[in-house]
Amino acid sequence: MALLDIVYRQSEIQNRKSSIVIRPRRLRTTPALRAMVRETELNARDLIYPLFVRHGTGRNEIRSMPGIYQLSVEEAVREAESVATLEIPAVILFGIPAEKDPIGLENFSYDGIVQQSVRAIKQEFPELVVVTDVCLCEYTDHGHCGVLNTGEHYQPQLPEGYVLNDATLEILSRVAVSHAECGADIIAPSGMMDGMVASIRTALDSNGYENLPILSYSVKYASSLYGPFREAAQGVPKFGDRKSHQMDPGNVREALREVATDIEEGADMLMVKPALHYLDVIYRVRESFPELPLGAYNVSGEYAMLKAAAQNGWIDEAKAVLETLTSIKRAGADLIITYHAKEAAEWLRQ
């Protein structure tokens, strides 16, 4: 081959190389191609729908959460039916008691509103998974998540009004057992007390509920996004805040420590709350502890923001909600507790 020919061929190869354009768009050409290569797909099976239950009859809409209601037991059963019809596998119950007191007596009473609701829902829809939230804040007259450092419990080395950890654990355990006795399928302690999983596990086991799983709110931040929930559950603290037990929003290494502790104590499933502003935390927990199912709580403030924008016509609600929930799943959550669950399940069918 003549020298010139060789030079010519080499430059042709060079030209061809430089003309190769990487074209990821090829796989986005048609809906069918896009569906084939979709990495994360949201499904109604990923969702858990929260229900707020209260005494009395009927239902009333929560002002800051359009489309979400406080429900009587009868109405809760009706909601459970529509949840089951939409093939959403689970509900999580939050109770609004008839009366509040310093420790929240209704929280572990046989006729408590959550206890009544669990029995009624399980009787009608035994297949539906009923998760119960276990905390004190909706039941105490001061609105805090535990027994306060005051009166007969006062410990001078701790601040006045501090949530006493170990005294609170005893009550949480009684609440968990009373939910178990009503037929709850999963116990979900949310109070961020140290040792809460171990304490509840021990109480459940010693009462014959060794098969009942615990979904721990392992990583719960002291977030500004719980406002609408507190209106819904009537659980606004009368004074102070929850920063002595819920986590600082700046921390993520601490989140991994909380999760490791919960796993050691016997948690079966983990949760990060809130979801949207903490997608990196969900991702880190997923990467560090891939062996346990991970939930994320798409909280009331996240719901209210999308609802408000949608009601103003500023966003397409269905698209924004499905994108939001997909992002939470993509970050690593297996399960998403969300007030959008029913609507999302309907949109996913279309």
Write down the least CB distance from residue 140 to Zn ion, Å. 9
Which of 196, 341 has the CB closer to Zn ion?
196
Instruction: Confirm or reject binding of residue 172 to Zn ion (CB under 5 A).
Output: no
Nearest C-alpha neighbor of 263 from the set 283, 287, 293: 293
Whether 341 contacts 49, CB under 8 Å: yes
- Based on the number of CB atoms within 10 Å of its own CB, is 24 exposed (0-12), middle (13-18) or buried (19 or more)? exposed
Instruction: Confirm or reject binding of residue 271 to Zn ion (CB under 5 A).
Output: no
Whether 89 contacts 127, CB under 8 Å: no
Instruction: Confirm or reject binding of residue 176 to Zn ion (CB under 5 A).
Output: no
Q: Considering only 65-73, 144-152, 273-281, 316-324, which stretch makes contact with Zn ion by CB under 5 A?
A: 144-152
Write down the least CB distance from residue 192 to Zn ion, Å. 8
Which listed residue (17, 100, 122, 220) is catalytic? 220
Distance CA 58, CA 20 (A): 66
Distance CA 144, CA 234 (A): 12
For the record, the structure tokens of 147 come out as 């027994």
Which listed residue (273, 307, 329, 342) is catalytic? 273
Instruction: Confirm or reject binding of residue 135 to Zn ion (CB under 5 A).
Output: yes
Write down the least CB distance from residue 176 to Zn ion, Å. 14
Q: How many CB atoms lie within 10 A of CB 48?
A: 23
Distance CA 160, CA 164 (A): 10
| 220 in active site | yes
Write down the least CB distance from residue 137 to Zn ion, Å. 3
Q: Considering only 18-26, 61-69, 131-139, 271-279, which stretch makes contact with Zn ion by CB under 5 A?
A: 131-139
Instruction: Confirm or reject binding of residue 148 to Zn ion (CB under 5 A).
Output: no
Instruction: Confirm or reject binding of residue 137 to Zn ion (CB under 5 A).
Output: yes
* Tokens 């507190």, located at residue: 230
Instruction: Confirm or reject binding of residue 193 to Zn ion (CB under 5 A).
Output: no
Instruction: Confirm or reject binding of residue 145 to Zn ion (CB under 5 A).
Output: yes
Which of 189, 332 has the CB closer to Zn ion?
189
Whether 92 contacts 47, CB under 8 Å: no
Nearest C-alpha neighbor of 165 from the set 244, 62, 78, 80: 244
Instruction: Confirm or reject binding of residue 188 to Zn ion (CB under 5 A).
Output: no
| 243 in active site | no
- Please give the residue ranges that form the binding site for Zn ion (CB under 5 A): 135, 137, 145, 191
